[in-house]
Amino acid sequence: MDREIKAGQVYRNFKGNRYHVIGIGAHEDTEEVMVICFEIETGDRLIINSEMHAIPYADFISKVDKEKYPNSKQEYVFELMEGQYE
């Protein structure tokens, strides 16, 4: 795992959505490592989507498929946001 994902950090996915990571977990049966997060929206105020997501760690740190998404400006599917809730 080259790119370390940490709890408390905010990431933007290549489609423009923002996700706040609350932790790293493992699937109970398969032991697949998962990133546990929730989507956030910003504007005049921070809005937290109460639905949690469990995204496979391998997918979270993978590169964007440039053949499928040639207009993506990001190299990775999820990239750390420097300003957090910008």
- Whether 3 is in a domain gets the answer no
Find the CATH number of the domain harbouring 38.
Answer: 2.30.30.320
Q: What is the pLDDT of residues 51-82, one digit of tens each?
A: 889 999 999 999 999 999 999 999 999 999 97
Domain boundaries, position 21:
10-67+74-80
- Whether 20 is in a domain gets the answer yes
**15 phi and psi angles, rounded to 5 deg:** -95, 0
Please report the pLDDT score of residue 3 as a whole number. Answer: 78
- Please count the structural domains in the chain: 1
The structure tokens 């709890």 sit at 7
pTM of the entire predicted model: 0.81
Cα 15 to Cα 64: distance, rounded to the nearest angstrom:
10
Residue 49 has pLDDT above 80, yes or no: no
% of the chain with per-residue pLDDT over 70: 83
Q: Positive or negative CA dihedral for 30, 31, 34, 38? A: positive
% of the chain with per-residue pLDDT over 90: 69
